Amino acid sequence: MDNAHNKNHDHNMEPEHNHQHPRNMEMHESHSEHADHESVTSPPISSSMDHEGHADHEMTKAADSHQEHEDHAAHVDHRGHEEMFRKRFWICLLLSIPVLLFSPAVQGFFGFSMPTFPGSFLITPVLSVVIFIYGGVPFIRMAGPEIRNRQPGMMTLITLAIGVAFFYSLAALIFSLGPTFFWELVTLIDVMLLGHWLEMRSVRQASGALNELARLMPDTAERIQPDGSTVEVRTDELITNDLVLIRPGSSIPADGLVIEGESDVNEAMITGESKPVKKIPGDSVIGGTINSAGSLRVQIIATGDETALAGIMRLVEEAQGSKSDNQILADKAAGWLFYIAVGFALLTGIAWTIAIGFNSEVIARVATILVIACPHALGLAIPLVVAITTSLGAKNGILVRDRLALEEAREIDIVIFDKTGTLTKGEFGVVDIAMADGWEADQVLAMAAAIEGDSEHTIARGIRKSAKERELRVPEVSEFEAIKGRGVMGVMDGQTGYIGGPRLLEMLEIKLPEKNVQFETQAGEKGQSVVNLVFDKAVVASFAVADVIREDSREAVDKLHELGIEVAMLTGDSEAVAKAVSEELGIDQYFAEVLPEHKDQKVAELQGQGKLVAMVGDGVNDAPALTRADVGIAIGSGTDVAVESADVILVKNNPSDVVNIFSLSHASFRKMRENLIWATGYNVVALPLAAGILAPFGFLLSPALGALFMSLSTVIVAVNAQTMRRMKFA
């Protein structure tokens, strides 16, 4: 540690400039400053979605992936589906207005009449045909997978209702069989289009996890020629044994071995190690990691698919492909209703034929059952709750990308937290100070920050940051100097101050006081780094510097325990660091020194024990585990790939928001269940009445009254969904 600290204070390194590609500079900045949460925005939709000729095909594709229970990651271009449903909804809604106005049933409900003119009687049927073809036929196509799989669901039920309503209405119009269902037809199509628009908007997600991983690799590299000169080449042109120059701040283009030079390398995005790792000749480096202040000459040992980063990409792809899709509650309810409706229709047809003989009244009665079997409310029961859930979550710092995962969150058994950047801030700070007699903590911290003022070392930045957080006045320092291999020095108030480790004390021939020796030992047991402040030829303070634990982490762990959820921690850090953090936060179990592929395996192992697992992380090395977990939760300020790989994103760096996810999941599921009860409960009453169960007592449910009940259930479902907005968050 001491060498790592002092080396970066050495100002004798060769003065080389960074010719890093601008895009890679941006990536470096995003990893050092953390990516903005706006990175979760989905990529622009394919322009092909603007062509109407592809729209029906895309609707069928959406249904195929949904109804056949394929991996949710296969739902590509949700924004395209969303735009298509939105467009069709508004066009059909506009065309439905004259259908409703010229419908005799609607006029009878509200007691008004429209002026007639030649051909006015054709407005309702003609526009209904247009709406059926433009807005309804795609639903019929989307019922194909359900029918082929013999698993009737919402699409089959919609098809049954609009198909019967359409063809019966045409027959009734042509053969004068009685009232038509045109207004019920168009409103049913409108509501279903609205429901699917809301659904697509809520489940829209980007599929850019692998692309974000690939972006870690720089586009170009500086290959060293036999004569010592360098030439810029594309990264994919590198081959094994090539020698490349890695300038300060540059991304390493491929896995390799350090041949010459010394530097610290930030490997947090790959290994999870919070501290930059010192690299000297003979050490290995990983492609995609960020070089620090030194210059390195690296011999390439792996390129392309053989690199560690490519291995992580394969894990992400595998984990995405292994996540199963669950059939949503509305599909199940629709499947039950399909069989119930068909059964009721058959029984009704048989019973009425026996009672009065087969005639137009029997046909109308059967058609009425099949039409009202698909309530408008069922089409909105889930999408409305999902839309409100995602909106409510977003206002409280929770972005929901996968609603199925959110529904599953209520059943989670164990939450695994990545340490660096999740439970901790992912940045160094002073966590403890041992002072000599007569000195105060703020005083020595201000002095240390002053002496470290011109250093760019990680520990120096941590000391300055801690002083800034305490709002300390930092004194003036002159004659700053980096002492090669030992530390730094500066003159303050005419006296020279030093900061460094054991080698600095050796140079100054100063013995570390016993109290400071014990302090250093205890800090080492916790995996913390220690530097000493020397002033007036005496050690006046020792500083323990480590990755700072977030203030809300303990509260989050406690609240999860209150919910009966076990808490675990994964980290690439050492056993000592993991144990210290785990004990401080009261975590149930931890896994230290875990490589990316092992993080993925740990999640799989816990799942193999029959547990539902949620993973909380923010780094690229967490991406496979995030996608493998039943619920992947990313800290929003983390790297883009973590955001792209997660099901739920926390915009704020607050681990307590993890608890809010489970609260939101329970509330959302409860409202979905209530809405389904209201939506399907309508059928429990309406279907027997439409079948004529009370006909002997003189009551027969007319299609118009059935439609009114249908509308009432829709209103109830909508109002019930809105009550979610009163939910309180922690």
- pLDDT digit string (tens) for 36-55? 333 333 333 233 333 333 44
Do 196 and 338 lie in one domain? The reply is yes
Do 158 and 216 lie in one domain? The reply is no
Which of the 8 DSSP states describes residue 18? -
Distance separating alpha carbons of residues 548 and 554, to the nearest angstrom: 13
pLDDT at 72 over 50: no
DSSP structure string for 359-414: SHHHHHHHHHHHHHTS-HHHHHHHHHHHHHHHHHHHHTTEEES-HHHHHHGGG--E
Residue 214 has phi, psi (to 5 degrees) of -65, -30
Task: Tokens for 212, please give them.
Answer: 């974000």
Distances (CA, A) of 715 to 382, 569, 684: 14, 46, 17
Residues with Cβ within 8 Å of residue 35, at least 6 apart in sequence: 637, 638, 639, 640, 643
Residue 624 placed within a domain: no
Do 170 and 303 lie in one domain? The reply is no
Task: Tokens for 414, please give them.
Answer: 């164990």
Do 387 and 497 lie in one domain? The reply is no
What CATH number corresponds to the domain at position 524?
Answer: 3.40.1110.10
What CATH number corresponds to the domain at position 262?
Answer: 2.70.150.10
Question: For residue range 489-534, what is the model confidence (pLDDT) as tens digits?
Answer: 899 888 899 998 888 888 888 888 889 899 988 887 777 888 899 9
Query: Are 417 and 423 in contact, with CB atoms under 8 Å apart?
Result: yes
Q: Which of 284, 310, 336 is the last residue of a domain?
A: 310
Residue 236 placed within a domain: yes
| pLDDT the model gives residue 350 | 92
Residue 637 placed within a domain: no
Confidence band of 211 (pLDDT split at 50, 70, 90): low
Query: Are 103 and 110 in contact, with CB atoms under 8 Å apart?
Result: no
Do 193 and 337 lie in one domain? The reply is yes
Distance separating alpha carbons of residues 486 and 7, to the nearest angstrom: 8
Among 207, 214, 257, 226, CA closest to 72: 207
Range of the domain at 335: 47-205+324-395+666-726
Among 575, 572, 581, 495, CA closest to 538: 495
| pLDDT the model gives residue 99 | 94
Q: Which residue has the higher pLDDT, 66 or 106?
A: 106
Do 57 and 179 lie in one domain? The reply is yes
Do 97 and 175 lie in one domain? The reply is yes
Give me the number of domains the chain comprises: 3
- pTM for the whole structure: 0.56
Rama region for 157: left / alpha / beta (φ>0; ψ in -120 to 50; rest): alpha
User: Which sign, positive or negative, has the C-alpha torsion 606, 612, 617, 623?
Assistant: positive
Question: For residue range 655-680, what is the model confidence (pLDDT) as tens digits?
Answer: 888 999 998 888 888 888 888 888 77
Do 82 and 156 lie in one domain? The reply is yes
Distance separating alpha carbons of residues 271 and 214, to the nearest angstrom: 16
Confidence band of 375 (pLDDT split at 50, 70, 90): low
Residue 575 placed within a domain: no
Question: What 3-state DSSP class applies to 520?
Answer: helix
**Annotation says 418 is catalytic:** yes
Distance separating alpha carbons of residues 272 and 418, to the nearest angstrom: 8
Q: Mean of the per-residue pLDDT values for the chain?
A: 78
pLDDT at 9 over 50: no
Q: Which of 257, 287, 310 is the last residue of a domain?
A: 310
Do 186 and 288 lie in one domain? The reply is no
Residue 474 placed within a domain: yes
Do 67 and 181 lie in one domain? The reply is yes
Residue 406 placed within a domain: no
Question: For residue range 286-340, what is the model confidence (pLDDT) as tens digits?
Answer: 888 889 888 999 999 988 888 877 766 665 554 444 333 333 566 677 778 788 8
- Spell 3-38 as b/e; 16+ CB within 10 A means b: ebbbbbbbeeeeeeeeebbeebeebbebbeebbebe
Distance separating alpha carbons of residues 537 and 58, to the nearest angstrom: 76
Residue 659 placed within a domain: no
| pLDDT the model gives residue 154 | 73
Distance separating alpha carbons of residues 685 and 58, to the nearest angstrom: 37
Do 201 and 216 lie in one domain? The reply is no
Task: Name the catalytic one among 255, 325, 331, 418.
Answer: 418
Residue 607 placed within a domain: no
Do 171 and 247 lie in one domain? The reply is no
Other CB atoms within 10 Å distance of the CB of residue 576? 15
